[in-house]
Amino acid sequence: MLLKGESMTTQFPFLSRRNDIKRYALNHNENNFSEIKFQKVEILAVILNHMGASLESNHFSSGSTVTRAGLQKMCETICDVEDVSKFSKKTCLEVTLQHFGDTNGIQGYFLSPGSTVTRKALMRIYYLILKN
């Protein structure tokens, strides 16, 4: 929750590179996001901001890790799903991709061992948002 007089950019500086992230997403082939130099939380912040939602402290943890709550918020916002409380990280990604008509699924491409979301997954979703 933002404190009075505080903007999302001052509380969480993750939107400072949003134009760079947008440019990167639009200038790369949707399946060829090599050498992504943005933090996962930065990409999530840009996605949420684009969809009119706010990044909150429970959407990420130390070291730029995107939490299940962050992915649930993303899925809820993009897909207009009412109850995502039982969705796993994998389900959030699958539902979001299906929303955009991506039927290839996540096939190990989007989650690394331990259910850690990859930068590639978030960048692909942002790319799909921008293209739709």
pLDDT digits (tens, 9 = 90+) for 80-111: 888 999 999 889 998 998 999 887 766 655 66
- CB-based contact 65:90 (threshold 8 Å): no
Output the 3-class SS for 55-120. CCHHHEEHHHEECHHHHHHHHHHHHCCCCCCCCCHHHHHHHHHHHCCCCCCCCCCCEECCCEECHH
How far apart, in whole angstroms, are the C-alpha atoms of residue 41 and residue 14? 7
Residue in this structure with the two tokens 């299906």, named with its chain if needed:
98
What predicted TM-score, i.e. pTM, was given to this entire model?
A: 0.83
Domain residue extents for the chain: 8-131
Using one digit for the tens of pLDDT, what is the confidence trace for 22-57?
999 888 866 677 788 899 999 999 999 999 999 999
Instruction: Looking at mean pLDDT, say which of 76-80, 105-109, 120-124 comes out highest.
Output: 76-80
